[in-house]
Amino acid sequence: MCGIVGYIGTQAATEILLSGLEKLEYRGYDSAGIATIWEGEVNCVRAKGKLYNLRSKLEQVETPAQIGIGHTRWATHGKPEEYNAHPHMDADLRIAVVVNGIIENYSELREELKQKGYQFRSETDVEVIPHLIAEFLKHSPSSAITPGVAPFGSIAFSPSPLLEAVRQAVHKLRGAFAIAIICADYPDELIVVRQQAPIVIGFGQGEFFCASDTPAIISHTRAVLPLDNGELARLTPLGVEVYNSAGERLKKQPRLLNLNPTMVEKQGFKHFMLKEIYEQPGVVRACLDAYFNADWSAGDSTNSPVKLGLPGEIYTDLEQIQIVACGTSWHAAIVGKYLLEQLAGIPTQVHYASEFRYAPTPLTANTLTIGVTQSGETADTLAALAMEKERRQDKDTKYKARLLGITNRPESTLGHMVPHIINTLAGIEIGVAATKTFIAQLMAFYALALDLAYLRQAISQTKLQEIINGLRQIPGEIEATLESQEKSIEQLAHNFAETKDFIFLGRGINYPIALEGALKLKEISYIHAEGYPAGEMKHGPIALLDAKVPVVAIAMPGSVYEKVISNAQEAKARDSRLIGVTPFHHGEAAEIFNDFIPVSKVDELLSPILTVIPLQLLAYHIAALRGLDVDQPRNLAKSVTVE
Ligand code: AGP
């Protein structure tokens, strides 16, 4: 997955493209490149590694060009080297192309093109595209370039030969992708294509943009039009034309984004991740306001305490829930399973979307399928949901697909794919490691589980009221944890700058938090870390323990507190340094734990929203002390739009 940006207008394009790419670097940062058109030529500059390498190269070759495309890459096909960096160009260096996505049938297209005499300069799947466009342009009847016989039996008919050549080239491609194209022979056109990978068009005053994500263009315009699958757009200095895959012009209007440029700035924090950790109390408040009915109190059996606005068809005769997700969203889903089962009494299964795609569970009746994805663009999650939709299509009502999405980006592909969404209201998250979007996903699950619990009368209204009251205290508790613990967690982190392995233990509803703590540490500090259900450690992982392997144990009051303490004892007996995330620093806990990260005493059911905070901070400070790029860890990208 990569980031694309494009500009056509009256300003110098290079800086606009570079600053757009800066906002998209979270999508990949193996290499970057831009191509502009100036004095009848395409100027293409590419550099391996992060954007600053490209920026310094461009200082020598900057032009006043007013049209251009840019790309930041997360390598899929071909090493992260300059020769594989985008833009890719045709043989005559007239056409430049940037792509986000994968071309599945690139091998056969490459062979076909090689037989026609095309030579390839990269190892990528996407280099076939400029050659295909060149081939179609060459044979286009209305082209400025020599006309000839249509190469693949096609007829050009569009008002723009370039648009038509792109359209025909795209018909040859299989896969999920978004593309932006410029051509020196059509210096007033920027063509954009969407096929299952996100791309938005931005409308300015006499200038137009395209980008994989809105932060790239938000400082120029808030009027955007996300393209739908199969659509192409032709951007000229005069306006934007949108076409369907048959080449027919469509009527489309931009809409105004509710986003402002400061949301995508660090605002004094050293890293986006730290800023986003600190935004979490606000995120929980926003979710409380949006999801819960402020006027509700126990005894009110006419209104639900929850106002998710989901239609009855989602809930009627519901027997089962299955959730598909990846990474951190998968961890939120496991907390969700716990809540849906314990509060609402509905059997719930959680699947890695990437596994579910190829080994789906047998169809069950009256089943709600939930896709959880903060970006709404994760290819595996989308494919799992698409498969579920398709395999239930011809079935009777009991087996029909009921789909729900939980996402932070309702305008994403997921938003178009499923009929109902819970919007997680965390605001744009830039740090590659998810923090505030995780908390917001947890809030969505609390709301869903409590709504179902109320409707099914699975718990008493008094209990319901108690949980909601507890939830309302959470923003303050998170603030207290941030305020009182950040400095001491930073101090504690000094002890682990050289540590090679970490173990995280949790049980019950805090088991997924142990997984999340381990994932955060792995992602940004590159320290090997594993999360385990505390009781499972003795069945094997305990062999890993010695004085060099610290163990973080989440020991919150409730049904499993004593059990976690006993499991922590087992680790202590193997000389591990024990760090307790717990409200208790006396009694047995004081004897076991070498270090404490105190958190408030809250209802066990609510504790995950609190216990994850110190684990995020611990991962952050260890990574920051190691001098690592916290916001853009190696090999990762924010949204994984490839399989
Ligand atoms: C989280 O820190 C990770 N970057 C990653 O595991 C992420 O949660 C996963 O790729 C799923 O992303 P999504 O929520 O956008 O679908």
Tell me the DSSP string of 497-522: TT--EEEEEE-GGGHHHHHHHHHHHH
The reported pLDDT for the residue numbered 176 is 84
Taking Cα atoms as reference points, which of 392, 370, 390, 389 lies closest to residue 308? 370
Residue 158 confidence (pLDDT):
57
Distance from residue 420's CA to the centre of ligand 1 (Å): 21
Question: How many angstroms does the Cα of residue 264 sit away from the middle of ligand 1?
Answer: 19
What integer pLDDT is reported at residue 144 of this predicted model?
Answer: 41
281-301 average pLDDT score: 93
Please report the atom of ligand 1 found closest to the CA of residue 520.
2
Q: Rounded to an integer, what distance in angstroms lies between the CA atom of residue 583 and that of residue 244?
A: 59
What is the overall mean pLDDT for the chain? 92
Nearest C-alpha to atom 6 of ligand 1 is from which residue?
327
* Ligand 1: nearest atom to the Cα of 523: 2
Q: Dump pLDDT digits (tens) for 548-569.
A: 999 999 999 999 998 999 898 8
Instruction: Flag whether pLDDT at 145 surpasses 50.
Output: no
pLDDT of residue 155: 39
Q: Which residues line ligand 1 (CB under 6 A)?
A: 326-329, 373-375, 378, 381, 432-434, 523, 636, 639-640
Residue 394's pLDDT is what? 84
Distance 156 CA to ligand 1 centre (A): 42
Instruction: Give yes or no for residue 499 having a pLDDT over 60.
Output: yes
**Known catalytic membership, residue 2:** yes
**Structure confidence at residue 573 (pLDDT):** 87
Q: Is the pLDDT of residue 150 over 50?
A: no
641 has a pLDDT exceeding 90? no
Angle between helical axes of 280-291 and 436-455 (0-180°, round to 10): 30
Closest among 477, 536, 471 to 505, alpha carbons compared: 536
pLDDT at residue 61, as a whole number: 78
Q: What is the pLDDT of residue 262?
A: 67
User: Could you tell me the pLDDT band of residue 168, with boundaries at 50, 70 and 90?
Assistant: very high
Identify which of 372, 391, 389, 369 has the alpha carbon closest to the alpha carbon of residue 381: 372
- According to DSSP, the residues that pair with 423 across neighbouring strands are 407
> Where residue 152 falls among pLDDT bands split at 50, 70, 90?
very low
Q: Which residues does 83 contact at the CB level (< 8 Å), separation at least 6?
A: 121, 122, 123
Main-chain dihedrals φ then ψ at residue 249, nearest 5 degrees:
-70, 135
Q: What is the pLDDT of residue 142?
A: 61
Atom of ligand 1 nearest to the CA of 639: 15
For residue 153, name the pLDDT band (cuts at 50, 70, 90). Answer: very low
Note whether 302 and 317 are within 8 A (CB). no
- 327 alpha carbon to ligand 1 midpoint, in Å? 5
From the CB of residue 638, how many other CB atoms can be counted at a distance below 10 Å? 25
Pocket test for ligand 1, best of 27, 328, 381, 636 (most atoms within 8 A of CB): 328
Q: Given the structure tokens 């050659």, which residue do they identify? A: 131
- pTM of the predicted model, to two decimals? 0.80
141: confidence class by pLDDT, cuts 50, 70, 90: confident
**pLDDT for the residue numbered 140:** 79
pLDDT in tens, 411-434: 788 988 899 999 999 998 999 999
More confident call, 1 vs 476: 476
